[in-house]
Amino acid sequence: MLMTNGLGMPTEPREQADYVSRLADAGISAIAVGEDVGAPGISAEMAMASERRALPILLTAYEVPFAAVARVVADSRTDHEERSRLLKTARIYESVRTATIDRRDANWLLDEIGAELGCRLEVLDMKAWRFAFAPRLTADASIREVLLDALDRCAGRLPAILRLHFRGSAALAVPVPSRRSAALIASDFHESPELSVLQHASTVAALELERLASERDSLSRSGHELLGDLLAQRVDSVQATKRLEAFAMADRPLVVAAWTRPDEGREPAGDGAGRMTPVGAGLSEDLFARGVPHLLRVGDRQSASLALIPAGEASSAALLDLLPDDSPVGLSAAVGAVDGLPRAVREARWALAGARTRRTRIVRYGEAGASPWTLPLEGSEELLEHVLGPLRDYDRIHQTELVRTLAVLLRNNRSPTSTAAELFIHRQTLVYRIRRIEELTSRSLSRTEDVVELWLALRAAEVVEGSTLLDGSV
């Protein structure tokens, strides 16, 4: 707004009209003319020009200083901006209310909020480097590089706002407070959204991420139970297919993956409320973040971990990427029906035994050289039952560890001293256990041919059950 005492205004009517037009062209929105300070009169032509150009002419009383007028205008502008921010914030949370009532997903909510802010909003999972609510989409290498650099410079935390280029144009990244490191990316805007409003959007994104994490935790637990039911064949194919629909795994080829890792013998930790958290929850969370449907069951002290995942290179590659580099993995052949799952598990364990024997990262069942020895899979089952069946039954009924004692003894070349020390038992206790093993198996640990047969039976247990008794990792 131009505030003037009028001494510079033209006096001729036509010149006054041109004066108004030139001011309008220059971006002036109003003229405030002080009264009784020598300004020429306002002609009809000047008044018509102000109407035509929508540029009002204000006559300011002599006793009202221009500073007071400027203060009112400035305060009005500040109030308008604050009201605009409040309205945008209110509409953001109204979108949350609508999404909750209408059961809209997070993508719909982000689109609504983005439309309100005049930009595109996406949430990036900075652990998986995929978009949290569209996990099949991978972040560009350029944005990953910028964010990693910011994390490195800021001690692992993103600054309150980070300017970057995304998809060929300017973008903003705002940290999202959540259990997984995440950022809200705002892009495709003509005018940068205000930080305070973006932070409200970030809060909404955090709530949606927490809801997503809760859903995935529940899905992980039910997947653990379902895999147990499938392996025990407690559900028929119709029920199994229906339950697999919740995991987007029904009516598609699946494979079983089996693996061992150094920390599988640890007990699950509590959650602080007396409940037990599912073993492998972190791995399950990472698989979900990469868009890999799965049923997961992490092994105990003597068995391998198992995962049922979609057949295909993408799913197995994602799993391999999440496991330690020194974890051998066995993959079954693809299975199309759930009634073939028990055999697929045996195939995966068979391939795992081959991977451990060959010291290879991954072995797929049926590929050349996958078998650790010439004994077929079915032969392993028969050998295990024939030689170690009585021993396993005795352990199960009496809660003993005769099978493990046998494995440790053979692994230590039948040294009583080393075996007793590793098992933390008295040497006389070991002698008693050895006698019981010989009685139950009808084999002598002093006869070479019997020792070979017992050792092969323990190896067969690795194939059939995925045990790691002879690896020395228990």
* Residue 47 maps to a domain: yes
Pairwise CA distance, residues 224 & 426, whole Å: 39
User: Is residue 178 located within the same domain as residue 243?
Assistant: no
**244 shares a domain with 164:** no
Specify whether 209 is located in the same domain as 89.
Answer: yes
- 199 lies in the same domain as 94: yes
Which tens digits make up the pLDDT trace of 226-251? 998 988 888 888 888 899 999 999 88
pLDDT tens-digit readout, 137-160 = 888 888 888 899 888 888 888 888
**CATH number of residue 434's parent domain:** 1.10.10.2840
Query: Is residue 73 assigned to a domain?
Result: no
**Dist CA 123 CA 108 (whole Å):** 13
Whether 72 is in a domain gets the answer no
Secondary structure letter of residue 179 according to DSSP: S
CATH number at residue 30: 3.40.1280.10
Domain count, the chain: 4
Structure confidence by residue, pLDDT tens digits, 160-192: 888 888 777 888 999 999 889 999 999 998 888
Residue 79: pLDDT band (50, 70, 90) is low
Q: What is the pLDDT of residues 392-406, one digit of tens each?
A: 999 999 999 999 999
Structural domain contains residue 257: yes
CA distance 37 to 40: 9
pLDDT at 269 over 70: no
- CATH number where 311 lies: 3.30.70
Backbone angles phi, psi at 150, to 5 degrees: -65, -40
Same domain, residue pair 276 and 356: yes
Does 95 reside within a domain?
A: yes
Distance CA 342, CA 340 (A): 6
Residue 412: inside a domain? yes
Domain boundary (313, 333, 364) is at 364
Closest by CA position to 353, among listed 456, 233, 229: 456
pTM, 2 dp: 0.63
Q: Do 143 and 118 fall into the same domain?
A: yes
Query: Does residue 266 have a pLDDT over 60?
Result: no
- pLDDT value for 268: 40
Which of 147, 180, 213 represents a domain boundary (last residue)? 213
| Domain boundaries, position 411 | 377-471
Contact 57, 28 (CB under 8 A): no
**Beta-carbon contacts of residue 253 (< 8 Å; ≥ 6 apart):** 310, 311, 312, 334, 335, 336
Residues 291 and 352 in one domain: yes
| 144 and 194 within one domain | yes
Whether residue 359 sits in one domain with residue 381 = no
Residues 146 and 242 in one domain: no
Instruction: Answer whether residue 298 shows pLDDT above 70.
Output: yes
Q: How far is CA 99 from the centre of its chain?
A: 22
Spatial CA neighbour of 147 closest among 168, 118, 124: 124
Please report the pLDDT score of residue 279 as a whole number. Answer: 42
Asked whether residue 204 falls in the same domain as residue 302, the answer is no
pLDDT for residue 124 is more than 70: yes
User: Is 289 in the same domain as 360?
Assistant: yes
